[in-house]
Amino acid sequence: MATARSLAALLSARATRPGPRRAGGAWPPRFAARAAAEPEHARRLVAEFDPAVPLEAAVTPPSGWYTDADFLRLELDRVFLRGWQAVGHIWQVKNPNDFFTGRLGNVEFVICRDANGNLHAFHNVCRHHASLLACGSGQKTCFQCPYHGWTYGLDGTLLKATRISGIKNFNKNDFGLVPVKVATWGPFVLVRFDDESTEGDVGDVVGDEWLGSASKLLSTNGIDTSLPHICRREYIINCNWKVFCDNYLDGGYHVPYAHGALASGLQLQSYETLTYERVSVQRCESAPSESDDLERLGTKALYAFVYPNFMINRYGPWMDTNLAVPLGSTKCKVVFDYFLDKSLLDDQNFIERSLRDSEQVQMEDIALCEGVQLGLESPAYSIGRYAPSVEMAMHHFHCLLHSNLSS
């Protein structure tokens, strides 16, 4: 984050720049427009959590981590706009001309596959007068701005700038879409906003950068590209995005109290938690079943949390993912994508029953998370404690956040 002095210099330099910085580029993607220096109280909130204290003696982050708007702005800059971020899956851009859009903080982006099958990502902003170019998802052979008709190829090239006769000092090669680095790992589409380079195939290294030493464990436990996408469900939840993540990371602590039906299908005493550099994995065996029907949970379940906000759940023939996207300091959107073994694609009864069971769990979790958020906003609560035997992954998550927010 720029100091007040360097920030003033940056804004002054930007104001006097004669033109675009490079072909197809824009101002540095560390986003000079994010000009305000971080508030002192946000830094104080970071410092109130001490990751050096052992789990058994540690207290949780203060409630301000979950309620303060300036703290969220700091998170967006230090956490979400640095490093690889999961934004979608390969089935969304399976075919040439497929695209989908998204938003993270104030960053609008579009992912697309061109006619040659190459995957691209760009800031979803027209270089003329800043209109958004695309919305939703679908197929396009080009992106035409709905405002003034400037048109871009799926490789980001400016193809047509309308009604600019008489313009001076203009080279359309300097006004292509601003690129974002994009890659895939398994069935997931990833982007990073802090690296302008688009050269080279990063597919071989993105797994190590994104998942660290957990990459092999996940790739050998059925998290791959072989499972077709079944459906997507989105939930708007009145809680901070971390409340949803904390709920996921409590080592099954809440399951017997909040998810009676789910708890009956799991051997909770078998729950174990593993932590890696930026990943935590929770594993649990399923309870024996006398039913002849194919069970949704299979014989064991694996729940992987990929910092900062992506969750991968592999159980039986299913895989589902959860992406927690902040919409404000007390609101988030959680995107669920469901994938299923090919052998069961025609079993509609099984699919509908499984999705119904999953929906029940989500409704129960939403009620929990919204109740926790109300408690966090109460003057009666400031900090809490960890249950050392089960909440290791939650503490790991908070330590990673502290590391990023302190840098």
Element (H or E) spanning 315, and its range? strand 310-315
Q: For residue 168, give its domain range.
A: 84-193
Domain contains 1: no
Based on the fold, state whether residues 260 and 135 are members of the same structural domain.
Answer: no
Domain contains 160: yes
Q: Which of 177, 193, 209 is the last residue of a domain?
A: 193
Based on the fold, state whether residues 223 and 182 are members of the same structural domain.
Answer: no
In this structure, what token pair is assigned to residue 68? 């303060």
Domain contains 162: yes
What CATH number should be reported for the domain holding residue 233? 3.90.380.10
| Per-residue DSSP letter, 295 | P
Give the pLDDT score at 317: 94
Domain contains 45: no
Q: Which of 193, 210, 236 is the last residue of a domain?
A: 193
Give the pLDDT score at 256: 86
Alpha carbon of residue 385 to chain centroid: 27
Based on the fold, state whether residues 160 and 261 are members of the same structural domain.
Answer: no
Domain contains 351: yes
What CATH number should be reported for the domain holding residue 162? 2.102.10.10
Number of helical H runs and strand E runs in the chain: 10, 17
Give the pLDDT score at 233: 98
Please, which residues have CB within 8 angstroms of residue 54's CB and are 6 or more apart in sequence? none
Based on the fold, state whether residues 308 and 252 are members of the same structural domain.
Answer: yes
Based on the fold, state whether residues 250 and 383 are members of the same structural domain.
Answer: yes
Based on the fold, state whether residues 263 and 392 are members of the same structural domain.
Answer: yes
Domain contains 230: yes
Based on the fold, state whether residues 278 and 156 are members of the same structural domain.
Answer: no
Based on the fold, state whether residues 184 and 96 are members of the same structural domain.
Answer: yes
Cα distance between residue 67 and residue 382, in whole Å: 11
Three-state SS at 394: helix
Please, which residues have CB within 8 angstroms of residue 82's CB and are 6 or more apart in sequence? 192, 193, 194, 404
Domain contains 15: no
Please give the angle made by the CA atoms of 244, 327 and 130, to the nearest 5 degrees.
150
Give the pLDDT score at 257: 87
Based on the fold, state whether residues 316 and 249 are members of the same structural domain.
Answer: yes
If one counts the domains in the chain, the total is: 2
Cα distance between residue 72 and residue 70, in whole Å: 5
Domain contains 363: yes
Based on the fold, state whether residues 230 and 347 are members of the same structural domain.
Answer: yes
In this structure, what token pair is assigned to residue 214? 């957990």
Please, which residues have CB within 8 angstroms of residue 117's CB and are 6 or more apart in sequence? 96
The closest of 360, 315, 363, 364 to 338, measured between CA atoms, is 315
Q: Which of 158, 193, 228 is the last residue of a domain?
A: 193
Q: What is the pLDDT along the chain (407 residues), one digit of tens a residue?
A: 444 333 334 333 333 333 333 334 443 444 443 434 568 999 999 999 999 999 999 999 999 999 999 999 999 999 999 999 999 999 999 999 999 999 999 999 999 999 999 999 999 999 999 999 999 999 999 999 999 999 999 999 999 999 999 999 999 999 999 999 999 999 999 999 998 665 544 555 898 999 999 999 999 988 988 899 999 999 999 999 999 999 999 988 888 888 767 756 767 777 899 999 999 999 888 777 655 334 655 678 899 999 999 999 999 999 999 999 999 999 999 999 999 999 999 999 999 999 999 999 999 999 999 999 999 999 999 999 999 999 999 999 999 999 999 98
Based on the fold, state whether residues 243 and 375 are members of the same structural domain.
Answer: yes
Give the pLDDT score at 296: 57
Based on the fold, state whether residues 247 and 390 are members of the same structural domain.
Answer: yes
